[in-house]
């Protein structure tokens, strides 16, 4: 479904990713891990069209997408929930969901489904997104992306920094989304074991390269799991 070949990209002319290869098949959950600064977000930015590819290629469902506009990539069914700035802070919860649903024929029904999934948001419909707690903001960012039933979702650290009781609910929700047919690439930083046990494959990044690829189970069984996870 997604094929990244020998991708080089970065900021300005300075390459951060060095010939990265990544393959994601339909229905898979693929995890990306690596220490701070390894290039995980840079990879997400490049796939979603926010950063140009300096070299290499990216194909989504057989179409070449590197250097296409982010809006065009979204229209093809590739949703992206960035690590930061993932909601419209000045808009209310209701308005954010309406923005997410604007291409749908019956947005209200789908917004209601999202609110049933995240009852906490229902109580805060009129609140500005910028004033939500971290967990509530992640719920809003995720529901705004899920509202269109994307075929493919890139999630950049969706549970980092959240309270344990919220994390479990969000992991369950994302795993359920995958089993209902959305292919997921998940940048994982916290609670790795709870996430990696669901991963079909794990890509370990270090200094802009893919250092290791394993199945989720193989990775969890690695003797030096902790060091590998921290990227040492």
Ligand X SMILES: Nc1ncnc2c1ncn2[C@@H]1O[C@H](COP(=O)(O)OP(=O)(O)OP(=O)(O)O)[C@@H](O)[C@H]1O
Q: What is the DSSP letter of 49?
A: T
The pair of structure tokens assigned to 128 is 């500005």
Residues 8-27, interacting with ligand X (CB under 6 A):
11, 16
Max Cα-Cα span within the chain: 51
230 binds ligand X (CB under 6 A): no
Least gap, CB of 13 to ligand X (angstroms): 11
Q: Which member of 1, 22, 40, 48 binds ligand X (CB under 6 A)?
A: 40
Q: Which member of 24, 31, 34, 184 binds ligand X (CB under 6 A)?
A: 34
Q: Which member of 7, 9, 41, 54 binds ligand X (CB under 6 A)?
A: 41
Taking the least distance from each CB to ligand X, the nearer of 34 and 158 is 34
The pair of structure tokens assigned to 27 is 């229905």
State the CB neighbour count (10 A cutoff) for residue 68: 15
Taking the least distance from each CB to ligand X, the nearer of 11 and 102 is 11
**Span from 37-45, 111-119, 124-132, 163-171 in contact with ligand X (CB under 6 A):** 37-45
The two beta strands, 201-206 and 209-214, are: antiparallel
Whether 158 and 190 have beta carbons less than 8 Å apart is answered as: no
For residue 213, the cross-strand partners are: 203
Map residue 138 onto helix, strand or coil: helix
Q: At what angle do helices 134-146 and 93-100 cross, to 10 degrees?
A: 30
Least gap, CB of 31 to ligand X (angstroms): 13
Least gap, CB of 232 to ligand X (angstroms): 14
Binding site for ligand X (CB under 6 A): 11, 16, 34, 36-42, 189
């Amino acid at each position: 479904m997604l094929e990244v070949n020998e991708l080089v990209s970065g900021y300005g002319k300075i390459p951060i990713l060095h010939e990265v290869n990544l393959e994601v098949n339909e229905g898979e959950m693929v995890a990306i891990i690596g220490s701070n600064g390894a290039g995980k977000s840079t990879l997400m930015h490049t796939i979603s069209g926010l950063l140009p590819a300096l070299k290499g290629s990216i194909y989504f469902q057989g179409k070449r997408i590197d250097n296409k506009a982010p809006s065009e990539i979204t229209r093809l069914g590739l949703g992206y929930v960035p690590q930061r700035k993932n909601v419209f802070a000045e808009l209310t919860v209701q308005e954010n969901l309406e923005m997410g649903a604007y291409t749908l024929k019956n947005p209200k029904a789908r917004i209601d489904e999202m609110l049933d999934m995240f009852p906490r948001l229902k109580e805060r419909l009129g609140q500005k997104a910028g004033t939500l707690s971290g967990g509530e903001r992640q719920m809003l960012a995720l529901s705004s992306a899920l509202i269109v039933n994307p075929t493919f979702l890139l999630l950049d650290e969706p549970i980092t920094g959240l309270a344990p009781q919220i994390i479990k609910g969000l992991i369950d929700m994302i795993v359920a989304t995958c089993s209902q047919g959305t292919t997921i690439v998940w940048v994982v930083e916290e609670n790795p074991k709870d996430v990696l046990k669901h991963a079909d494959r794990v890509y370990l990044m270090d200094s802009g390269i893919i250092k290791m690829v394993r199945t989720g189970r193989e990775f969890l069984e690695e003797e030096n799991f902790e060091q590998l996870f921290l990227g040492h």
